[in-house]
Amino acid sequence: MASEASVRNLVKKAKGRDPEAFGLLYDEYVDQIFRYIYYKVGNFTEAQDLTGQTFLKSFENIDSYEMRDVAFSSWLYRIAHNLVVDFFRRESKRENVPIEEQPPTPSNRGNPVETVLADLESERLYKAMGKLTHNQREVLVLKFIDNLSNNQVAEIMGISVGAVKSTQKRGLLSLNRILSNSSGSDFLERP
Protein backbone atom coordinates (compact mmCIF):
# COMPACT_ATOMS: atom_id res chain seq x y z
CA MET A 1 0.00 0.00 0.00
CA ALA A 2 1.35 3.38 -1.01
CA SER A 3 2.06 6.01 1.64
CA GLU A 4 -0.25 9.00 1.99
CA ALA A 5 2.54 11.28 0.72
CA SER A 6 3.07 9.23 -2.44
CA VAL A 7 -0.71 9.12 -3.06
CA ARG A 8 -0.86 12.92 -2.67
CA ASN A 9 1.99 13.27 -5.15
CA LEU A 10 0.26 10.98 -7.66
CA VAL A 11 -3.01 12.89 -7.23
CA LYS A 12 -1.24 16.20 -7.94
CA LYS A 13 0.22 14.72 -11.12
CA ALA A 14 -3.12 13.19 -12.11
CA LYS A 15 -4.79 16.57 -11.66
CA GLY A 16 -2.27 17.81 -14.22
CA ARG A 17 -3.68 15.08 -16.55
CA ASP A 18 -0.65 12.80 -16.22
CA PRO A 19 -2.05 9.44 -17.42
CA GLU A 20 0.80 7.46 -15.88
CA ALA A 21 0.11 8.94 -12.43
CA PHE A 22 -3.58 8.15 -12.74
CA GLY A 23 -2.66 4.64 -13.89
CA LEU A 24 -0.64 4.15 -10.72
CA LEU A 25 -3.60 5.36 -8.62
CA TYR A 26 -5.80 2.91 -10.51
CA ASP A 27 -3.36 0.07 -9.80
CA GLU A 28 -3.26 1.02 -6.12
CA TYR A 29 -7.03 1.01 -5.59
CA VAL A 30 -8.71 -1.09 -8.30
CA ASP A 31 -8.78 -4.36 -6.33
CA GLN A 32 -10.28 -2.70 -3.24
CA ILE A 33 -12.92 -0.86 -5.22
CA PHE A 34 -13.81 -3.96 -7.25
CA ARG A 35 -14.13 -6.08 -4.10
CA TYR A 36 -16.32 -3.44 -2.44
CA ILE A 37 -18.61 -3.22 -5.47
CA TYR A 38 -18.71 -6.99 -5.98
CA TYR A 39 -19.86 -7.62 -2.42
CA LYS A 40 -22.56 -4.99 -2.93
CA VAL A 41 -23.96 -6.17 -6.28
CA GLY A 42 -23.03 -9.88 -6.19
CA ASN A 43 -22.45 -10.04 -9.94
CA PHE A 44 -18.92 -10.29 -11.35
CA THR A 45 -19.67 -8.65 -14.71
CA GLU A 46 -21.66 -5.79 -13.18
CA ALA A 47 -18.92 -5.26 -10.59
CA GLN A 48 -16.30 -5.01 -13.35
CA ASP A 49 -18.45 -2.50 -15.22
CA LEU A 50 -19.15 -0.39 -12.13
CA THR A 51 -15.46 -0.46 -11.16
CA GLY A 52 -14.56 0.86 -14.60
CA GLN A 53 -17.22 3.56 -14.27
CA THR A 54 -15.83 4.52 -10.85
CA PHE A 55 -12.37 5.14 -12.24
CA LEU A 56 -13.70 6.88 -15.35
CA LYS A 57 -15.75 9.24 -13.15
CA SER A 58 -12.80 9.83 -10.87
CA PHE A 59 -10.56 10.63 -13.85
CA GLU A 60 -13.15 13.00 -15.33
CA ASN A 61 -13.68 14.75 -11.98
CA ILE A 62 -10.22 14.63 -10.44
CA ASP A 63 -10.01 18.43 -10.57
CA SER A 64 -12.90 18.59 -8.07
CA TYR A 65 -11.07 16.37 -5.56
CA GLU A 66 -9.68 18.38 -2.65
CA MET A 67 -6.82 16.61 -0.87
CA ARG A 68 -7.41 18.34 2.44
CA ASP A 69 -11.06 17.27 2.73
CA VAL A 70 -11.03 13.45 2.46
CA ALA A 71 -8.55 10.70 1.68
CA PHE A 72 -8.35 9.81 -2.01
CA SER A 73 -9.45 6.24 -1.27
CA SER A 74 -12.53 7.54 0.58
CA TRP A 75 -13.34 9.74 -2.40
CA LEU A 76 -13.14 6.68 -4.71
CA TYR A 77 -15.34 4.62 -2.38
CA ARG A 78 -17.89 7.45 -2.33
CA ILE A 79 -18.02 7.48 -6.14
CA ALA A 80 -18.37 3.68 -6.15
CA HIS A 81 -21.08 3.86 -3.48
CA ASN A 82 -23.09 6.37 -5.53
CA LEU A 83 -22.76 4.24 -8.67
CA VAL A 84 -23.96 1.16 -6.76
CA VAL A 85 -26.96 3.10 -5.44
CA ASP A 86 -27.77 4.21 -9.01
CA PHE A 87 -27.33 0.62 -10.20
CA PHE A 88 -29.87 -0.68 -7.68
CA ARG A 89 -32.32 2.08 -8.58
CA ARG A 90 -32.12 1.07 -12.24
CA GLU A 91 -32.33 -2.64 -11.38
CA SER A 92 -35.43 -2.16 -9.24
CA LYS A 93 -37.24 -0.68 -12.25
CA ARG A 94 -36.16 -3.48 -14.57
CA GLU A 95 -37.63 -6.96 -14.40
CA ASN A 96 -34.96 -9.63 -14.78
CA VAL A 97 -33.95 -13.06 -13.65
CA PRO A 98 -30.75 -13.04 -11.58
CA ILE A 99 -27.91 -15.28 -12.67
CA GLU A 100 -26.20 -16.82 -9.68
CA GLU A 101 -22.46 -16.45 -9.74
CA GLN A 102 -19.75 -17.67 -7.47
CA PRO A 103 -17.97 -15.03 -5.43
CA PRO A 104 -14.22 -14.74 -6.02
CA THR A 105 -12.52 -17.78 -4.51
CA PRO A 106 -9.20 -17.90 -2.73
CA SER A 107 -6.18 -18.88 -4.76
CA ASN A 108 -5.01 -22.49 -4.73
CA ARG A 109 -3.13 -23.39 -1.61
CA GLY A 110 -1.72 -26.63 -2.92
CA ASN A 111 -3.96 -29.07 -1.08
CA PRO A 112 -7.16 -29.66 -3.12
CA VAL A 113 -9.19 -30.72 -0.07
CA GLU A 114 -8.27 -27.52 1.79
CA THR A 115 -9.06 -25.47 -1.31
CA VAL A 116 -12.53 -27.02 -1.68
CA LEU A 117 -13.29 -26.57 2.03
CA ALA A 118 -12.12 -22.95 1.94
CA ASP A 119 -14.24 -22.31 -1.17
CA LEU A 120 -17.31 -23.80 0.50
CA GLU A 121 -16.73 -21.69 3.60
CA SER A 122 -16.28 -18.60 1.41
CA GLU A 123 -19.57 -19.35 -0.40
CA ARG A 124 -21.32 -19.90 2.94
CA LEU A 125 -20.08 -16.56 4.26
CA TYR A 126 -21.01 -14.80 1.02
CA LYS A 127 -24.58 -16.13 1.19
CA ALA A 128 -24.85 -15.24 4.88
CA MET A 129 -23.69 -11.69 4.12
CA GLY A 130 -26.52 -11.46 1.61
CA LYS A 131 -29.02 -11.90 4.45
CA LEU A 132 -27.77 -8.82 6.31
CA THR A 133 -29.21 -5.35 5.84
CA HIS A 134 -27.63 -3.17 3.17
CA ASN A 135 -25.86 -0.97 5.74
CA GLN A 136 -24.64 -3.91 7.83
CA ARG A 137 -23.17 -5.59 4.76
CA GLU A 138 -21.51 -2.36 3.62
CA VAL A 139 -19.94 -1.67 7.02
CA LEU A 140 -18.64 -5.24 7.38
CA VAL A 141 -17.17 -5.27 3.87
CA LEU A 142 -15.45 -1.92 4.35
CA LYS A 143 -14.18 -2.80 7.83
CA PHE A 144 -13.15 -6.43 7.50
CA ILE A 145 -12.57 -7.06 3.82
CA ASP A 146 -11.12 -3.69 2.86
CA ASN A 147 -9.59 -3.05 6.33
CA LEU A 148 -10.74 0.57 6.58
CA SER A 149 -10.95 2.53 9.81
CA ASN A 150 -14.24 3.59 11.42
CA ASN A 151 -13.53 7.17 10.33
CA GLN A 152 -13.03 6.12 6.71
CA VAL A 153 -16.19 4.01 6.73
CA ALA A 154 -18.16 6.92 8.22
CA GLU A 155 -16.77 9.23 5.54
CA ILE A 156 -17.66 6.85 2.71
CA MET A 157 -21.16 6.08 3.97
CA GLY A 158 -21.96 9.60 5.13
CA ILE A 159 -22.81 8.50 8.69
CA SER A 160 -21.27 9.11 12.12
CA VAL A 161 -18.51 6.96 13.61
CA GLY A 162 -20.97 5.91 16.32
CA ALA A 163 -23.40 4.70 13.66
CA VAL A 164 -20.57 2.71 12.06
CA LYS A 165 -19.79 1.04 15.39
CA SER A 166 -23.39 0.16 16.18
CA THR A 167 -24.07 -1.08 12.63
CA GLN A 168 -20.91 -3.19 12.81
CA LYS A 169 -21.97 -4.69 16.13
CA ARG A 170 -25.51 -5.49 14.90
CA GLY A 171 -24.11 -6.88 11.64
CA LEU A 172 -21.65 -9.17 13.40
CA LEU A 173 -24.33 -10.41 15.79
CA SER A 174 -26.70 -11.09 12.89
CA LEU A 175 -23.98 -12.79 10.87
CA ASN A 176 -23.05 -14.98 13.84
CA ARG A 177 -26.72 -15.93 14.34
CA ILE A 178 -27.18 -16.73 10.63
CA LEU A 179 -24.03 -18.86 10.51
CA SER A 180 -24.82 -20.59 13.81
CA ASN A 181 -28.33 -21.52 12.67
CA SER A 182 -27.14 -23.11 9.46
CA SER A 183 -25.29 -26.29 8.77
CA GLY A 184 -22.78 -26.15 5.95
CA SER A 185 -24.49 -28.09 3.15
CA ASP A 186 -28.07 -27.19 4.12
CA PHE A 187 -27.17 -23.52 4.10
CA LEU A 188 -25.72 -23.65 0.60
CA GLU A 189 -28.89 -25.17 -0.81
CA ARG A 190 -31.19 -22.37 0.37
CA PRO A 191 -32.24 -19.79 -2.24
DSSP 162-184: HHHHHHHHHHHHHHHHHHHT--H
Rounded distance between C-alpha atoms, residue 111 and residue 109, angstroms: 6
Question: Does residue 179 fall inside a structural domain?
Answer: yes
Instruction: Report whether 171 contacts 157 (CB < 8 A).
Output: no
**What does the pLDDT look like over 113-171, one tens digit per residue?**
565 556 556 677 778 888 888 889 888 888 887 888 899 888 888 889 999 999 999 99
Are 96 and 126 in the same domain? no
Question: Does residue 164 fall inside a structural domain?
Answer: yes
Are 5 and 71 in the same domain? yes
Instruction: Report whether 38 contacts 104 (CB < 8 A).
Output: yes
Are 29 and 51 in the same domain? yes
Task: Note down the domain range covering 36.
Answer: 1-101
Are 18 and 60 in the same domain? yes
Residue of 79, 86, 62, 85 whose CA lies nearest to 7: 62
CATH number assigned to the domain comprising residue 47: 1.10.1740.10
pTM > 0.85: no
Are 46 and 74 in the same domain? yes
Question: Does residue 106 fall inside a structural domain?
Answer: no
Residue of 13, 127, 112, 18 whose CA lies nearest to 72: 13
**What does the pLDDT look like over 79-112, one tens digit per residue?**
998 999 899 888 776 555 444 444 554 444 455 5
Name, in order, each residue with C-beta under 8 angstroms of 98's C-beta and a sequence gap of 6 or more. 43
Are 82 and 123 in the same domain? no
Question: Does residue 175 fall inside a structural domain?
Answer: yes
Are 65 and 127 in the same domain? no
Are 129 and 179 in the same domain? yes
Are 145 and 127 in the same domain? yes
> How many structural domains compose the chain?
2
